[in-house]
Amino acid sequence: MESTEKKRRGRPPKDDNATEVLPPIRVTPEQKQRYKNAAKKASLALSAWIKSVADKNS
């Protein structure tokens, strides 16, 4: 008889170790659309794009 590993429950762990949350920032609808477009152009999620821009400038 083959031994089978039990399937783990829940969401699989992510590779991202980010545990802190920044407070929300207020932007205009135009800014939000520009940021979304820039993230899409860079093939990144919006949050990943924001982090990359912040990291470049810190």
Average pLDDT, integer, range 5-18 = 82
- Whole-number Å distance between alpha carbons of 14 and 17: 8
**CB atoms near residue 49 (< 10 Å):** 19
Q: Is pLDDT above 80 for 12?
A: yes
Q: What integer pLDDT is reported at residue 38 of this predicted model?
A: 98
Which amino acid, residue 39?
A
- pLDDT per residue over 23-54, tens digit each? 999 999 999 999 999 999 999 999 999 999 99
